[in-house]
Amino acid sequence: MNIGAHVRGGGTLIPSLEAGVALGATSIQVFVQSPRMWKPSQYAPALLDAYRDAQLAHPSITDTFCHATYLINLATGDAALYERSVTALAHNLRVGRAMGASGVILHVGSHQGTGFDDVVEQIGRAFLRALDEAEANDDRCPILIENAAGAGGTVGRSLDEIERLVVATGRDERIGICVDTQHLFASGVNVATPAAARRFVTEVDQRIGLGRLRCLHLNDSKTPFGSNRDRHANIDEGEIGSAGLAALVGHPKVRELPLLLEVPGDGDGPRAVDVQAARAVVERGVALYRRGATKSRDK
């Protein structure tokens, strides 16, 4: 299994690798600029090269993911905000590609009530523009569309919407997805049993393709099922619990993906104890499928 955690990148980025090690994580997620400011962080090319080399040579951290700034809104009707959003996404992609990241995870934004049908094509164009401006000409550092919890006019609240976004790019290979377990729960998707998890994974494969699923955000939820509210909780301190998470993360086609914790911890992000809890959830999920296989053989 590959349990990751969001950690602070810092000005030189390289310490984020050891921050992951200190937690017992085997992959990490970082912001490469402030998540709530437009001003991009400027990194010297030599620093990004050094990070890429350190990541490639690291004995335990296998993947680094970047999370794009929360201010991006590719679904907006405001032309100035749209242009600013495309520029910000291109910058995040440029940095992510230079540092050897495994993807840039993105909250697509909100159409603010105009309707998904009215914005899907403009979002597709924005993806392609950002990728081209960043010169991200391969799929080693794709845009990873994160599913939304479903509040207001947020985009990506269902696999149908995410599929249509992928289609709007001509199914460009540089577009992937990141599934957030809290957002999935809040948007009313049940994956709490092996049967339900299998249906969900099959739908991802049929609609989008499992090859595009590059990672998961592994989070419990402070809010109830179907609440459409984005509120993360530490594992077993929320409404989902280990029992509700195990079937999805233990699924044979999911369990080896990077599973990235975005939990509050004590208020400063994931702790070593949260990584340990995540490992226990995956082990519990793997056991579910082993028991199912045993029962099938016994019949």
DSSP notation for 108-166? --B-TTS-GGGTHHHHHHHHHHHHHHTT--SSSS-EEEEPP---TTBS--SHHHHHHHH
Q: Residue 238 carries which DSSP code? A: S
Enter the pTM of the model: 0.94
Cα 236 from Cα 64, distance rounded (Å): 26
d(Cα 191, Cα 240) in Å, to the nearest integer?
A: 10
pLDDT digit string, tens, across residues 248-274: 999 999 999 999 999 999 999 999 999
**What mean pLDDT value characterizes the chain?**
94
Comparing 134-143, 173-182, 218-227, which segment has the lowest mean pLDDT?
Answer: 134-143
Is the pLDDT at 293 greater than 70? The verdict is no
What's the whole-number mean pLDDT along residues 189-208?
97
pLDDT, mean of residues 140-147: 95
Give me the pLDDT at residue 104, please.
98
Q: Rounded to an integer, what distance in angstroms lies between the CA atom of residue 129 and that of residue 232? A: 32
Find the mean pLDDT for residues 128-133.
Answer: 96
More confident residue, 11 or 227: 227
84-93 per-position pLDDT tens digit: 999 999 999 9
Stretch 105-119: mean pLDDT: 94
Instruction: Give pLDDT, residue 107.
Output: 97
In the prediction, which pLDDT does 135 show? 87
Q: Is the pLDDT of residue 136 over 80?
A: no
Residues 158, 154, 185, 22: is their CA dihedral positive or negative? positive
The structural domains of the chain, ordered by start, are: 2-298 (3.20.20.150)
pLDDT of 294 over the 90 cut? no
pLDDT, residue 298, reads: 41
Could you read off the pLDDT of 8-63 as tens digits, one per residue? 877 789 999 999 999 999 999 999 988 888 988 889 999 999 999 999 999 999 99
Number of Cβ within a 10 Å radius of residue 46: 8
Give Cβ neighbours of residue 242 (< 8 Å, ≥ 6 apart). 235, 236, 277, 280, 281, 284
What percentage of residues in the chain have a pLDDT greater than 90?
88
Structure confidence at residue 297 (pLDDT): 45
The confidence score (pLDDT) of residue 129 equals 96
Helix (H) or strand (E) holding 88: helix 79-98
